[in-house]
Amino acid sequence: MKTISTSGWNDYSLLDSGDGYRLEQFGKFRLSRPDPQAIWSRKLPESEWRKSEAAFLKDKKEKEYWQKKQTPTKWIMRYKDISFYAKLTPFKHTGIFPEQHLQWDWMEDKIRNSSQLKSGQKPKILNLFAYTGISSLIAAKNNCEVTHVDASSPSIAWARENQTLSKLSNKPIRWIKEDVLKYCQRELKRGHRYDAIIMDPPIYGHGPHSEVWDFYKSFPILLALCRGLLTKKPIFIIINAYAISASSLMLENMLADSTQGINGTIESGELCLEEKNSSRLLSTGIFSRIAFE
């Protein structure tokens, strides 16, 4: 097991955490958001927290809302040569999971050093539960053919906005609104195969036709399908998981089972954010990934 952490990049930093909240800089705007595991004490004074342009709060009836000053509906952020929009969603998220840039860098390295790319082929990437599509854009930027699957129309629309913003409209990205399990089952029957698979499975969810996703029941089925969807010489699989009551060892064991017979190196652990001007880490989720040999 390992912990991989980031102190952020030019457009993002974790400024402080504690008392059930995190204080973050998203581009030009400072946001305060709940984080139930941050039950330690804050390091920065209250005056720094009050500088937030937006804070996600609860009223007396437990209704959640953003208390905003002059925060726009959306604003542009950048990572390397990829651009994307941050937005204040009703569920405290911004469409960006900053700790994922550690996976973006890892993925980019594996793609650039793949035998497919070196032989002039375009690696085929399957991105499941793909949300606002930053991983899809990074893969497309690196000459991959990407299939982006998500059950949410607003998320796909947001991802396509990001594609246009990043000037990648000419890159081959297929946008699929579908239940992930149903889509993978059909792809297996069609004989379609992928060189790499990325997934961010939620704990619970629903497909576009009310299909039920329950991580502990559905995830083993999905991994078995993904094993069948790999090409003969695959590049990698990345699994990220949030808000589940399990350790990364579970992901590692599942990934090891599903990739038996293929040589590769598995890494698993926690994804963390490192506070700016501090060595304190905030865990945001767990991951497991395999780089095939």
Indicate whether 125 and 223 sit together in one domain. Answer: yes
Spans of the chain below 50 pLDDT: none
Q: For residue 197, give both structure tokens.
A: 């698979």
CA torsion angle 187 191 195 199 (round to 10): 20
SS3 state of residue 13: strand
From 36, 71, 106, the end of a domain falls on: 71
Indicate whether 99 and 178 sit together in one domain. Answer: yes
Indicate whether 63 and 99 sit together in one domain. Answer: no
CA 186, 187, 188: angle at the middle one, nearest 5? 90
Residue 214 lies in a domain: yes
From 41, 71, 101, the end of a domain falls on: 71
Total structural domains in the chain?
A: 2
pLDDT in tens, 75-124: 999 999 999 999 999 989 999 999 999 999 999 999 999 999 999 999 99
Indicate whether 35 and 133 sit together in one domain. Answer: no
CA-derived radius of gyration, the chain: 19
Indicate whether 125 and 267 sit together in one domain. Answer: yes
The pLDDT of residue 279 is 87
Query: How far apart are alpha carbons 170 and 199 in whole angstroms?
Result: 24
Indicate whether 197 and 279 sit together in one domain. Answer: yes
Backbone angles phi, psi at 83, to 5 degrees: -115, 150
Indicate whether 53 and 82 sit together in one domain. Answer: no
Residue 18 lies in a domain: yes
Query: How far apart are alpha carbons 114 and 15 in whole angstroms?
Result: 37
Amino acid at 141: K
Average of per-residue pLDDT values in the chain: 95
Please enumerate in sequence order all residues whose Cβ is within 8 A of that of 121, keeping only pairs 6 or more positions apart, or say none. none
Query: How far apart are alpha carbons 245 and 89 in whole angstroms?
Result: 24
Indicate whether 175 and 219 sit together in one domain. Answer: yes
Indicate whether 130 and 151 sit together in one domain. Answer: yes
Residue 1 lies in a domain: no
Tell me, rounded to whole angstroms, the distance of Cα 178 from its chain centroid: 18
Amino acid at 201: P
Residue 215 lies in a domain: yes
Residue 210 lies in a domain: yes
The pLDDT of residue 1 is 60
Range of the domain at 120: 78-86+93-292
pLDDT in tens, 203-229: 999 999 999 999 999 999 999 999 999
Residue 2 lies in a domain: no
Indicate whether 63 and 102 sit together in one domain. Answer: no
Indicate whether 206 and 172 sit together in one domain. Answer: yes
What CATH number is attached to the domain comprising 48? 2.60.40.1180
Indicate whether 33 and 160 sit together in one domain. Answer: no
CA torsion angle 271 277 75 152 (round to 10): 10
